[in-house]
Amino acid sequence: MTCQDIQKKELAGKTKLTAVTVYVSPGRKTTHFLMLNHDSKGRAILPMAYLNQIVGKIPRGTTFSVA
């Protein structure tokens, strides 16, 4: 097991401050810091309620991606 694997396993099920960046089509980006839970692989779980709050501020018809 690598150090990254051990760290991911230790973070599983814990809440951690996580940066969520939303890229909007004309080259703009916004970053939001949220307290998110992490799964067993160390990935953050973004609830739909948080995503709806962030995306609700973007004008309709605009292309966006979340990183």
pLDDT tens for each residue of 2-61? 888 887 777 778 888 999 998 988 788 889 999 998 887 778 889 999 888 888 888 888
Residue 59's pLDDT is what?
82
Domain boundaries, the chain: 3-66
Cα 35 from Cα 24, distance rounded (Å): 22
Residues with Cβ < 8 Å from 28, sequence gap 6 or more? none
Residue 33's pLDDT is what?
94
Residue 24's pLDDT is what?
87
Cα 7 from Cα 10, distance rounded (Å): 5
